[in-house]
Amino acid sequence: MLKRILICASIAFCIGFAVYLFKLQDDRGSMVKGEGGECGLEGTPVAELKWNREIEEVPGKESLASLREKLLARPSSEAVAEIEGFLRKGKDRKTDLNLKIGKGGKIEGWPTLRVFLLDLLLEIDPGSAARISREILRSETSADEWAIALRNVAKGERLEGNRDYLRTRTEDLITNPEWQAQPSVGYLNAFDVLVYTGATESLPLLSGLIQRKDRHDLAHASFLTMDRLVQRQPIDMLTRLKADRALQQSRPEMTAQQFARADLRDTSQQAIVKSWLLDPSRTSTELQNFAAIYPNNNKLISHNMLTSQERVSGTDLNAHDREVLEVIRDWRTDPAFESRSQYLEVMDRRVSQFVESADGSSR
């Protein structure tokens, strides 16, 4: 009997110790948002921080502004610890706001309290914001949280050491079936991380989404990303686009307009365009669209999480037009371009008008 009691006591002790370890692991666990906005052992109350009890049930801008003021008034280490503690408990509250990106990437609207706190972390301590955001990115919380977390890692760490991490995690966000089915504002803005990292390797992903004619939202976001990557990394991107036959066949006008972004003053870009232009497989649709828009210096000015679009001065555009006009006229006298003479004529006429207009306005 004594032996049996000892055995039972031993088993009870082991079970109790195992539960303790489980609770300890849970307390130090990930920042996943659980069912019903809480996480932890079933039936275990989640202690709320004082400021969490004080804010409204559905916090608006005034409530969040007050919370921001209180947290910024504390030593940064204390504020970070409180925010991290809240995020670890998996709690959340929806706001009456939509995620909004303002000038310079400033966040002006937060759909949930967690998104607001993640955004505030970057202001309080960029290094801690990056560290905590990496923890967020280990689990599927929400596309909006991931978008802000990716921005925090990008701004809180050196790009040289996290470029591949940012690219792959952004691709994970974009390809997440649930988030892709109903893309949020954060989901669509996360594409900017690919531009920020110069992720030319992501062209296959972007190309596939651009070809999704049943999903205009995904195709548009992917096109804008590809277009901005071409402007920033023209040689690499145009080389990859030249090899993407599927995209050229699916979206011939769109790809032709990308080659029209090439700067023919640059010998490398000039060689890529020449090869693309003289390819026997080129269709009249592609050639007409290329000639009609060259030089494609159109810029879409928008507010993005990480990047900005630089405006090109009129002086620089005029200098560009004069020099590329010489290249076009050299091609018109080159026998190799005889089959493309009608398209070169359109390009010559278009660029000549720009040059003449600039000359007239300077008089």
Token output for 59:
């916090």
Residue 103 within a domain: yes
Could you tell me if 173 and 248 lie in one domain? no
pLDDT surpassing 50 at residue 254: yes
pLDDT surpassing 70 at residue 211: yes
Q: Residue with structure tokens 């090899």?
A: 243
Task: Tally the domains of the chain.
Answer: 2
Could you tell me if 266 and 329 lie in one domain? yes
Token output for 251:
């979206």
Q: How far apart are CA 343 and CA 340, in angstroms?
A: 6
Residue 266 within a domain: yes
- The DSSP element (H or E) to which 101 belongs, if any, is strand 100-101
Residue 173 within a domain: yes
Token output for 136:
């967020």
Residue 30 within a domain: no
Strand partners, 107: 101
Average pLDDT, the chain: 87
Q: What is the pLDDT, as a whole number, of residue 310?
A: 80
pLDDT surpassing 90 at residue 164: yes
The dihedral through the CA atoms of 199, 298, 251, 335 has a sign that is: negative
Token output for 325:
């006009």
Residue 82 within a domain: yes
Q: How far apart are CA 212 and CA 202, in angstroms?
A: 16
Q: How confident is the model at residue 61 (pLDDT cuts 50, 70, 90)?
A: confident
Could you tell me if 166 and 270 lie in one domain? no
Q: What is the pLDDT, as a whole number, of residue 47?
A: 38
Residue 63 within a domain: yes
- Report yes or no: 192 and 174 within 8 Å, Cβ to Cβ: no
Could you tell me if 171 and 256 lie in one domain? no
Q: How far apart are CA 16 and CA 43, in angstroms?
A: 17
- Mean pLDDT (whole number) for 14-38: 44
Residue 85 within a domain: yes
Domain range spanning residue 276? 231-306+315-363
Residue 362 within a domain: yes
pLDDT tens-digit series, residues 216-240: 999 999 999 999 999 999 999 999 9
